Structure 1
Amino acid sequence: MNALDLWDIHTGKRFPFDARAPRIDNGTGRPSPDRYVSPAYAAEEWDKVFAKSWLLAGPVSDIPEPGDFMKFDIGPESFIVVRDEDGSVKAHYNVCPHRGSQLVTADLGSLSRFTCPFHSWKFALDGKCVEVTDAETFRPEVLCHGTDLSSVRCEVAAGFVFLSMDQDIKPLAEFLGPVLDQLELYEIDQMYVVQHRRSDWGSNWKGGVDAFAEIYHLHAVHPQTQCLMDDRTQIDLWPGGLSRQFVPFAQPSPRFPDQESVNPGIQMMLRDAGIDPETYEGSARETRTAVQQAKRKRSDELGLRYERFSDSQLSDSVVYSVFPNVQIGCHPEAVFLHRFIPHATDPNQFTYDTIILYRHVDAPGYSAPAWMGMGEDVDLSGRTRPDVIHTGLGEPPCLGEVLDQDSDLLPVVQKGARSRGFKGPLWSEQEGRLRHFHAELDRMMGA
């Protein structure tokens, strides 16, 4: 499949990667701010949205071999996602059927079977109970209630493992629909985690989704990005709360006063593409095209098969929203994953979970995009899976300048959302992905 050969399962037609999606009009309504602050809304949201949706549990590269598992915590629930002995992927509630103890506490690991730490009941990777300690002391009528782990729907797509608590949910491929082929172009299943950070923020999880689904705020919150990121951008919407946004790199925003000089930020991106800024003779208006051409040249030399990508995919960040709580930012060399995890009880908190996945190529000049901040201490070889670094509420998250700015601002936004003076958001067309997300949220909530 190449960049001009994508398939839309809804229309049955092929289309270019960059083609605009058919317009979806989500109206002009102003939703109540209760969705950001109300405990009752959050409780109903858990039952009607999270318990009925496909949830991205993690990258499939984290469980390559039988017995490899990852723990996925979201809201009040915890799940074990495991590679079974037959190579399939299974997902179970992280709870022993005997007395309710969680079975695993590590984020990642490898086991031949699961053993409860409380009374040492044992379970096969597929969730079947293989040993009840002192089984003869249980009346058969007790054990017949069920001793296996409670499993959930689990499917793999585009290099990620998804699970759902709803056994009747439609197949994952059908839900992902028009974006599945697009995501698969990046071959994320061949990437691996090189950074994984988790931090607790003083905001509702939807405040996180909202902030990361638009670049309208960049000039105010992240003015340092304006020299190298264009905020004239394409937004595409699809049914089911799915959306996409192109974020053009290597050219200044029209808000930036100097449109000609090749500033240090753009120089960094030229170096990324293998262009020496000292010998580059073009202006800032031409650097995005130069980056695209240089990456195609590198692909030809190294056999990277970038012919499957459009020009914009080579220079820009193509960011997908996967309902309800995921954003995936795609580049040929690396992908970033943002998940906005609701707090179990407090609508004024969420956990921000961010992962960078990288495809290793042992060649001079090839690396993850420099703006991702992969320092010299980061192992890009894939030989080691980094630990999850978790910072608690109120601790400096140390996520990098831009993300730290978001973590500082969102509690301020959340505090304002609790004010009687705030009547609900007023979204511009630049915030079309936000309105689209909330329209799907309202549909599932039955509004």
Structure 2
Amino acid sequence: MNYDPRSWAVHKGSDHPFDQAAPPIDNGAARLDPSRYTSRAIFVQEWEKLFARTWLLAAPASDIPDAGDWVRFDIGPESFIIVRQEDGSVAAHYNVCPHRGSRLVTGDMGSQASFTCPFHSWKFGLDGRNQRVTDEETFRPEVLCHGTDLTSVRAEEAVGLVFICMDDNAPPLVDYLAPVLPLLETYRIDRMHVVQHRRSDWAANWKGGIDAFYESYHLHAIHPQTMGVIDDRTHIDLYPGGMSRQFVPMAQPNSHYGDQTGINPGIAALLKDAGIDPVDFDGTAQDSRAAVAHAKRERAARIGLDYSHFSDAQLTDSTIFGIFPNAQIGCHPEAVFLHRFKPHADDPEQFTYETTILYRHVDAQGYGAPGWMGLMDDVDVTGATRPDIVHTGLGEPPGMGEVLDQDSDLLPIVQAGARSRGFKGPLWGEQEARLRHFHAEVDRWLARN
């Protein structure tokens, strides 16, 4: 379904193709068993029937620009090597030697012409084919005939991102992403590079993580500091296959905020970020979004960027896409924010939250990533250096900024409540339509043979 209960005006009167609402989807209103957040049996089914069969966002393509460049992608109990091959295509292999099961790589990323097992120095090409069995003459042929190559999985690229799939029978990636692919293509993520990458272990089920990020209903309660600048009057689109989209209006007050017309400090900062002096701005808070869009168009024209294909909403709002099963992409013309919710290897009440900010560098005064993304002044936005991945363990402050740290503090409390006899399952309102849509798709996958 499409949610617009409070007459949010971005779509009203807009005939821009990007802003067109999706056809309604009736995804039901059943109350779900809360054991889906705690049950080990369901957790195992999700891995075997969902993660092992769907396309998973593995890495930005910009991390492997040249032949031999690789990144390690860990999810659940598995580890994969994502590598750029000599012909320019991408390949993905289980990060395991067929000899005795040793991991081949332990770093986050690198570049090399081949992979050598650290245990017995078996060697493999970028395509996964075995190039050397150490002391091969000491193996009987009937042993080696079982296979000495790496086990590979499908790997495909779209919109500047690399996805993998463990299921040989899954549809091509472009078909899997079809409902949202044309919309994502407008952002030209393939022209962006990583400027920040963080991982954090959280004490909650991976679906609880998605629940927290798939709605803005909670902003007034958990993130009161956002009240003046992030509106909860959003538009939601639901697409087949569990995909979704939500426009989160920026530079205007939340519906729970007392002053709906004044230019508060948060809005003033976003006006300034767009190149507007808030002192000279004579509009109200209801005019600020349109002013920001206009200013960004003018700036783009001055510095030689083509923003003609973007709608005003794309220039002002955080337009977020749910990529089933476990990713969310927050999109802006200047930068995108990748969120991934990765299940733990064996504990249904833990997951790893991984964030990556990709940025399109333009050396021009005033141009930059949206201020709310929180990029520090010392971040190298040129792409000359790829930042290290910062990983914080369970119980450590994630250090991802005030808002994300607030989420990490709350989710273990929600997870504890899911174990209570007093909790009978979620009661989702229309502001949480994306959650209901996501869980309905999870159940469709779990019901398959």
TM-score band, normalised by shorter chain: over 0.9
**Paired amino acid for 1:389:** V
Q: Does 1:361 align with 2:365?
A: no
Q: Deviations over 1:340-380 (max 9, x none)?
A: 00001101100000000000000000011111111112111
- Please give the secondary structure, in 1, of the residue aligned with 2:19: coil
The equivalent of 1:402 in structure 2 is 403
Q: Partners of 1:143 and 1:375 in 2: how far apart?
A: 53
**Paired amino acid for 1:17:** F
- Give the alignment of 1:60-209 within 5 angstroms: 60-209=61-210
Q: Partners of 1:246 and 1:402 in 2: how far apart?
A: 18
Q: Partners of 1:254 and 1:133 in 2: how far apart?
A: 67
1:283: how far off? Answer: 1.3
- Give the alignment of 1:15-414 within 5 angstroms: 16-414=17-415
Asked if the contact 2:262/2:285 (under 8 Å) is kept, the reply is yes
Q: Partners of 1:41 and 1:261 in 2: how far apart?
A: 49
**Paired amino acid for 1:343:** H
- Please give the secondary structure, in 2, of the residue aligned with 1:177: coil
Asked if the contact 2:16/2:311 (under 8 Å) is kept, the reply is no
**Paired amino acid for 1:62:** D
**Paired amino acid for 1:165:** M
Q: Partners of 1:107 and 1:425 in 2: how far apart?
A: 37
* Unaligned 5+ runs, structure 1: 1-13
Q: Partners of 1:44 and 1:285 in 2: how far apart?
A: 48
- Please give the secondary structure, in 2, of the residue aligned with 1:357: strand
Identify the range of structure 1 (91-100 vs 263-272) with the bigger mean alpha-carbon deviation: 263-272
Q: Partners of 1:272 and 1:148 in 2: how far apart?
A: 52
- Please give the secondary structure, in 2, of the residue aligned with 1:240: helix
Asked if the contact 2:327/2:340 (under 8 Å) is kept, the reply is yes
Q: Partners of 2:233 and 2:162 in 1: how far apart?
A: 33
- Please give the secondary structure, in 2, of the residue aligned with 1:291: helix
Identify the range of structure 1 (376-385 vs 327-336) with the bigger mean alpha-carbon deviation: 376-385
Q: Partners of 1:257 and 1:429 in 2: how far apart?
A: 23
1:22: how far off? Answer: 0.5
- Please give the secondary structure, in 1, of the residue aligned with 2:18: coil
Q: Partners of 2:45 and 2:319 in 1: how far apart?
A: 32
Q: Partners of 2:398 and 2:19 in 1: how far apart?
A: 35
1:392: how far off? Answer: 0.2
Q: Deviations over 1:237-268 (max 9, x none)?
A: 01100000000001111211111221111111
1:15: how far off? Answer: 7.7
Change (3 A) 1:273 1:15: closer
1:178: how far off? Answer: 2.1
Q: Partners of 1:406 and 1:39 in 2: how far apart?
A: 24
Q: Partners of 1:274 and 1:119 in 2: how far apart?
A: 59
Q: Partners of 1:287 and 1:84 in 2: how far apart?
A: 48
**Aligned structure 1 segments of 4 or more residues deviating by more than 3 angstroms:** none
- Please give the secondary structure, in 2, of the residue aligned with 1:431: helix
**Paired amino acid for 2:206:** W
Q: Partners of 1:30 and 1:256 in 2: how far apart?
A: 31
Q: Partners of 2:87 and 2:327 in 1: how far apart?
A: 29
- Please give the secondary structure, in 1, of the residue aligned with 2:179: helix
1:288: how far off? Answer: 0.5
TM-score between the two structures when normalised by the length of structure 1? 0.96
1:86: how far off? Answer: 1.1
- Please give the secondary structure, in 2, of the residue aligned with 1:285: coil
Q: Partners of 1:273 and 1:440 in 2: how far apart?
A: 39
TM-score between the two structures when normalised by the length of structure 2? 0.96
The equivalent of 1:3 in structure 2 is none
The equivalent of 1:446 in structure 2 is 447
- Please give the secondary structure, in 1, of the residue aligned with 2:177: helix
The equivalent of 1:421 in structure 2 is 422
The equivalent of 2:436 in structure 1 is 435
**Paired amino acid for 1:77:** E
1:282: how far off? Answer: 1.4
- Please give the secondary structure, in 1, of the residue aligned with 2:286: helix
1:418: how far off? Answer: 0.6
Q: RMSD across aligned C-alpha pairs, in angstroms?
A: 1.0
Q: Partners of 2:16 and 2:95 in 1: how far apart?
A: 42
- Please give the secondary structure, in 2, of the residue aligned with 1:306: coil
Q: Partners of 2:28 and 2:326 in 1: how far apart?
A: 22
Asked if the contact 2:179/2:240 (under 8 Å) is kept, the reply is no
